[in-house]
Structure 1
Amino acid sequence: MKLGYARVSTTDQKAAMQVEALMDAGVAKDKIFVDEMSGAKAARERPKMVELLNYAREGDEIYCWRIDRLGRSLVDVVTTVQDITDRGISLYSIMDGVDPSTAHGRLQLGLFATLAEYERELINERVRAGVMAAKARGVKFGKQPPKPDTVQTKIRVVRQLLSEGAEVKAAAEAVGWSRATLYRYLKQFGPETVPETAVETRKPRSRSIYAAKTATAPRGTDSAGRSRNRN
């Protein structure tokens, strides 16, 4: 089945010309999908393009007036073309003479793919250069540190919980912190100390009974007081 696609901006009145060219190529008028919107939107953001891609089946033929109607950039165009051809659908561009059934048409599609890859690399290079320039100006990337006012507000909440007998871990989790984070912020922002009741203390490890007996047994005897000397 022959299907057609046309795109015009809201200020462009050339839809009739594109539709006529598609009909001359043998596409029925009711099988032509027309998007009236800016070319700034990607193919997958265009309602009629999405409808066309969902409607098309393997063995169908999609005609467009010009290849640039298929996307907002060369990369977008090539991605759309790849999506269409991978599904076993033939693509024809009337004005560009793109015909995948000919060697020349396949060469054109290959050149489009090469140029799209080149454009991707240029975009990546510009992004990297922009990041380096921003870092040189002191711009910080990644997660931003919390505001001091927010930290101090949470500290007051934590102190209140601790004064009411809450455990350190529970108080920290109540404000979204770990125990280590809580202690770090208390040290950094809080002039007061953590209530003594909230400080975790460890009981001294008790010595074993054997060790205690050995420590008190006279030299030359075992833990029971028996002589170690053999007759």
Structure 2
Amino acid sequence: MVWRVDRLGRSLIDVLNTVTLLRESGIGIRSIQDGIDPATTSGRLMLNMLATLAEYERELITERVNAGIAAAKASGTQFGRPRVEPAVIAEKLAIVNDARAKGRTATDAARLVGWSRATFYRHNATAQSQDS
């Protein structure tokens, strides 16, 4: 039992492959919402049509999302995490390195400025590569 045919896969090929695999294994399929029984000829026809429509609907959604993202970028919307000023990073790095020089572990020193150990190592490596 499935709620709707489009729950069986992301594309027409996925749905048909899943239905074929299950039928070959002797497993019957019923769609609750669509009322489709792929064991019958008309059921297979309906399955193909609904799976095709479901794939079309997913592609439309993807196109709309991508168009929305493009429109947002065109209007100046910034995506992702905001950039941190290099001066702020340098200041925090100095605090962490000072704490490390006084014997603190990398994890403890990084927590002083709200960083993880990995963030400290990443910023430290970037700063050292810029100095070289």
TM range (shorter): 0.5 to 0.7
The aligned length equals 107
Q: Any idea what SS the aligned residue of 2:78 has?
A: coil
Moved over 6 A (4+): 161-164
In the other structure, the counterpart of 1:138 is 76
Q: 1:92 to 1:153 in 2, by over 3 A?
A: closer
Task: Using CA pairs under 8 Å that are at least 6 residues apart, name the structure with larger relative contact order, 1 or 2.
Answer: 2
TM-score for the superposition, normalised by structure 2? 0.56
Q: Equivalents in 2 of 1:175, 1:95: separation in Å? A: 53
Contact 1:92/1:99 (<8 A) preserved:
yes
CA contact (8 A) 1:99 1:105 kept: yes
Structure 1 residues 70 and 84: CA distance shift in structure 2, 3 A: farther
Instruction: Determine the C-alpha separation between the residues in 1 that align with 2:67 and 2:54.
Output: 20
CA contact (8 A) 2:3 2:33 kept: no
Task: Give 1:122's aligned residue.
Answer: 60
Structure 1 unmatched runs, 5+: 1-61, 63-68, 165-172, 185-198, 201-231
Q: Name the residue aligned to 1:75.
A: 6
**1: CA distance, partners of 2:29 / 2:101:** 73
What is the aligned partner in structure 2 of residue 107 from structure 1?
A: 45
* CA deviation after TM superposition for structure 1 residue 174, in Å: 8.9
Cα RMSD (Å):
4.0
Map 1:32-111; keep pairs closer than 5 Å.
62=1, 70-71=3-4, 75-76=6-7, 78-79=8-9, 82=15, 83=18, 86-88=21-23, 89-93=27-31, 98-111=36-49
1:153, distance to aligned residue in structure 2 (A): 1.8
- What is the TM-score when the length of structure 1 is the normalising length? 0.35
Distance in 1 of aligned mates of 2:100 and 2:3: 63
Gapped regions of structure 2 (runs ≥ 5): 103-117
Structure 1 or 2: larger helix share? 2
- Are the structure 2 counterparts of residues 110 and 155 from structure 1 closer, same or farther at C-alpha, using a change threshold of 3 Å? same
Letter in 1 for 2:127: T
Assess, with a 3 A threshold, how the Cα gap between structure 1 residues 181 and 94 changes in structure 2: closer, same or farther.
Answer: closer
Q: Is the 8 A contact 2:3 2:31 kept in 1?
A: no
Indicate conservation of the 8 Å contact 2:3/2:32, yes or no.
Answer: no
CA 1:118–1:136: 2 relative to 1, 3 Å: same
Determine if contact 1:75/1:119 at 8 Å carries over to the other structure.
Answer: no
**Counterpart secondary structure, 2:30:** strand
> Quick one: distance in 2 between partners of 1:119 and 1:150?
47
**Shift of residue 125, structure 1, vs aligned partner:** 0.3
